[in-house]
Amino acid sequence: MTLASQAFMTTSNPLVEADRRRAFRALLRNPLLASSGETAEDYKLVRRHSEWLKQWFARFPAWRLHLDREVARLRKHPADLLDETRPAIDFTSGTAFTRRRYALLCLALAALEQAKPSKKSQTTLGEVAQTIMELVAADRELQAAGLVFDIGNYDQRRDLVHAIRLLIEVGVLHRVDGDERRFLNRDDSADVLYDINRHILASMLHVSSSPSAVEAMRRSGADTLPERVARLANDPVPVIEDRRQQWIRSRLVRALLDDPVLYFHDLNEEEQLYLERHRSYLLRQISEASGLIAEVRGEGIALVDDTGDLTDLQLPDGGIGGHLNLLLIQWFAECSRNCVEIPIPVSAVEQRVRRLIELHGSEWHREVREPGAETRLMEDALLRLQALRLIQITAAGVVPLAACGRYSGSANEE
């Protein structure tokens, strides 16, 4: 028996098992753990079990765990590199990151890299904004792509503030003085002072190939978009049989750990065959490592998080959105019972949302009864339900997926 296989045997000490599981879950919950601040205890836990964690993540999802005195960084790859259904969320406003916000996030990181190191290594929000304006003004390709940044524009300042909040959340920045809201409201006397954690800043980028080199290949016509993304992540489909089997295993485990549902119909023939042969083994390994509970059905597999601390999106959640999402998915479930896999036109979904507002608007905020509110509410609901793998959005309309069937008949709103 090899050392690697021994490492995954169930330990006879239940306290060690539980400790490993907490470390495992801490990394799934937050792939970047600083050794100080709010994540210090999780960092210590991961460090204690670092060898076991490194071997497990390398063997199954093929993720690398980097650990030093400053940070623990799990370098993850999603099962689907082109998945756009779960963007970063600004937790203050609850709004999702747009492409512009992602672009400003990258430019903010570039601005912080350019900031002159000092003993305190500090910067201000105004300095970051000014550097971003200079970077955009000097880059013709950014301008040709339609990216502009004007600090005088409220929407663009808001997008930058959302990017900065994310950098605070992951520990790149620590607010020393000031308030982003005053900057957002264009208080000329307001600025925000930050400490820069350069070690975490250096850990943010997670690519195996230079983005500029990948982009150069695109200009030469050598790569399609999926190929460029795979090259950037150094995750191409291997040709050698043994490595191909490992790649299939890693893709399946990534999907099981990260995605709400793994649908069998999304797998190719090779992946389906591998899963049929090794399903029990893979699910046992994942369950023992994470504490997640496998729910296997005819359409696919979901790993249930009975504690909820690994769940970033929930249904239902609080507020108007949560109530509307639940009512809407119940309707989708009833529709799919009668017309399996037939797309529901977006116009019909919007009409349904309008009807739900008529029925429940008195229980919700007054804003939902304003003209056009049904469109915004519908778009927000569809994005969340798609991210939860409860529906699929196609050019023909909304297709309810198998997982939404669990909500069928659970309530009757009329």
- C-alpha distances in angstroms, 21 versus 52, 90, 312? 11, 28, 18
Of 34, 200, 197, which Cα lies nearest the Cα of 122?
Answer: 197
Residue 412 lies in a domain: no
Residue 219 lies in a domain: no
Residue 222 lies in a domain: no
Residue 414 lies in a domain: no
Same-domain check for residues 325 and 395: yes
Number of domains in the chain: 4
Same-domain check for residues 342 and 280: no
CATH of the domain at 54: 1.10.10
Structure tokens, 115: 């900031």
Same-domain check for residues 182 and 108: yes
Give, for all 414 residues of the chain, the pLDDT tens digit.
344 444 455 566 889 999 999 999 999 999 999 998 889 999 999 999 999 999 999 999 999 999 999 999 999 988 887 888 888 888 888 788 999 999 999 999 999 998 776 656 899 999 999 999 999 999 988 888 899 899 889 999 999 999 999 999 999 999 999 999 988 888 666 899 999 999 999 888 877 666 666 666 665 555 676 777 767 766 666 767 788 899 999 999 999 999 989 999 999 999 999 999 999 999 999 999 999 999 999 899 999 888 878 877 776 566 777 788 889 999 998 888 776 678 999 999 999 998 988 888 777 777 777 777 888 888 888 988 998 899 999 999 999 998 888 777 654 445
Residue 203 lies in a domain: no
Range of the domain at 71: 3-75
Residue 268 lies in a domain: yes
Of 304, 250, 240, 258, which Cα lies nearest the Cα of 278?
Answer: 250
Of 144, 176, 196, the last residue of a domain is: 196
Of 47, 75, 103, the last residue of a domain is: 75
Residue 210 lies in a domain: no
Of 251, 274, 304, the last residue of a domain is: 304
Q: Which residues pair with 32 in a beta bridge?
A: 73
Count Cβ atoms within 10 A of the Cβ of residue 174 and give its class: 0-12 exposed, 13-18 middle, 19 or more buried: middle
